[in-house]
A = this chain, B = another copy of it.
């Protein structure tokens, strides 16, 4: 090939391998950090949405997190069971619920955010600002090439 001289050539497949292996470790690291603080990633993501946006319909939570409605039902069930969020009837639409974060939920999510930030610091903090900028640029480039039209949930 013309590129034979490039000793450090990395194929898309190589990158994929590296990426997948690293992700497996990062995922567990972040999840463990959250678990230690009483929330999982999934539960924290929902609670964050509620903290930022106020009471939300489950369909909107799902859309915001790009999750299936099914997953939201379960997650809200578990948050409600633990008293971190509550379902209220939507006065404007009797099909829907408005899910709201509770005061204990606020407290919990604040602690979890700190734990998450610490985990992210542990993972990405060793990079220089320059490296983080480059990494962000690459992630965005990959994202764009994979789905030029990001908004769509998923083809069915």
Is A111's CB within 8 Å of the partner chain B? no
Is A69's CB within 8 Å of the partner chain B? no
Bound Cα distance from A137 to B142, whole angstroms: 16
Interface residues on A, range: 35 or more
Cβ of B22 and Cβ of A23 under 8 Å apart? no
Query: Which stretch from A24-32, A53-61, A90-98 is at the chain B interface?
Result: A24-32
Contacts of A36 in B (CB 8 A): none
Tell me the residues in window 99-149 of chain A with beta carbons closer than 8 Å to chain B beta carbons. 116-117, 119-127, 129, 131-136, 138-143, 145-147
Bound Cα distance from A25 to B143, whole angstroms: 8
Known A12-B123, A25-B146; contact A138-B135, beta-carbon cutoff 8 A: yes
Bound Cα distance from A9 to B30, whole angstroms: 23
Binding site for B on A (CB under 8 A): 3, 6, 8-16, 18-26, 28-30, 66, 116-117, 119-127, 129, 131-136, 138-143, 145-147, 154
